[in-house]
Structure 1
Amino acid sequence: MAYPVLNFPPVRLRAARRRGCDYVWDDLRGAWLLLTPEEWVRRHLLGWLREGLGVAPTAIVQEYPVALGGTAQRADVVVLDGGQRPLLLAECKAAGVTIDARTLDQAVRYNSVVGARYLMLTNGLRHYFYETADGLIYEPLAAPPDLSGR
């Protein structure tokens, strides 16, 4: 399968092909994952968080559990601050998926439980950032938030 060039710096991935499917090594979880189009975006986001923004691997949680209305959901990526509280919640979509109001609604629903200050929505081609002080009003940001003071 051909994967699109994304609007992230290139990342070095350890990949393998098994039984006709592509897999990628997740060094944070120590496991091989099926390389879906959404996972391609997530791998690049994680590389950018670590290499581009200097976020420590120990501050990154993938598939962060979110209990909504009695059902178990998962936020794609949550970055924790120095006190281990959620700072940024990121939702990834495949490059071919448009980021729209439904994507923002999903992230806001998740964040009603998680309580992060920042949201990031990305399909790898476009990235959207939001900040909230109260979890009710989300203001768009023109640039990525500074996560260095986690």
Structure 2
Amino acid sequence: MIKVEFPAPTFRIREEDGKELIFDDLRKQWVRLTPEEWVRQNLIQYMLQVKQYPSAFIGIEKEIALGELKKRFDLLVFDRNHQPWMMIECKAMDVELTENVLEQIIRYNMSVPVNYLVISNGTYTYAWVKEKNRLNSITELPVFD
């Protein structure tokens, strides 16, 4: 497991039509503040502020094809050569990170191959690196090269 210390939140939040919205600085738009979005936004700030990942290399909720199915990954980090490098699946804090969640990101990885896979519910974060066709657990997010 990875110990993630989220930075103090400085989010812009507003209410519209009875729903809470949060401003996503990367997408430059207001998005619905769901429990999963809260985890995603905090994880983004951790990657930007603590791990120093460049914001221009982080993709959010893009559609991918899994056979005939269309799915959306939560976060995808690209390397300096603009190749997919790390995929992150976020879940709400009350969602247990089971083997099903890991299998979900592994399926996404078949469509978009990356070296690092991460799952997080904000309370717990687990990550793996692919080495010789095996997933090996790691204890911290890698440094962005």
Q: Say whether the fold is shared (TM-score over 0.5).
A: yes
- What is the identity, as a one-letter code, of the residue corresponding to 1:137? R
Match of 2:70 in 1: 72
Match of 1:11 in 2: 9
Aligned-pair identity in percent equals 32
Kindly report structure 1 stretches of 4+ aligned residues shifted beyond 3 Å: none
- Aligned mates of 2:143, 2:67 — CA distance in 1: 32
8 Å contact 2:5–2:46 — kept in the other structure?
A: no
How far off is 1:10 after superposition?
2.2
* Ranges in structure 2 where 5+ consecutive residues have no aligned partner: none
8 Å contact 2:91–2:121 — kept in the other structure?
A: yes
* Ranges in structure 1 where 5+ consecutive residues have no aligned partner: 1-5
Whose relative contact order is higher, 1 or 2, with alpha carbons under 8 Å and at least 6 apart? 2
8 Å contact 1:61–1:77 — kept in the other structure?
A: yes
8 Å contact 1:7–1:125 — kept in the other structure?
A: no
8 Å contact 1:75–1:91 — kept in the other structure?
A: yes
How far off is 1:20 after superposition?
1.6
How far off is 1:7 after superposition?
5.0
TM-score by length of 1: 0.90
Match of 2:142 in 1: 145
Query: SS at 2:93's partner residue?
Result: coil
How far off is 1:31 after superposition?
1.1
How far off is 1:70 after superposition?
1.0
TM-score by length of 2: 0.92
Match status 1:55 vs 2:60: no
Quick one: which of 30, 33, 52 aligns to 2:28?
30
RMSD, aligned CA: 1.4
CA offsets per residue over residues 108-147 of structure 1, 9 Å max, x none?
Answer: 000111111001100000000100035x421111222222
- Aligned mates of 1:133, 1:74 — CA distance in 2: 25
Match status 1:104 vs 2:102: yes
Tell which deviates more after alignment, 6-15 or 59-68: 6-15
Query: SS at 1:107's partner residue?
Result: helix
Quick one: which of 84, 87, 101 aligns to 1:86?
84
- What is the identity, as a one-letter code, of the residue corresponding to 1:130? W
Change (3 A) 1:50 1:65: same
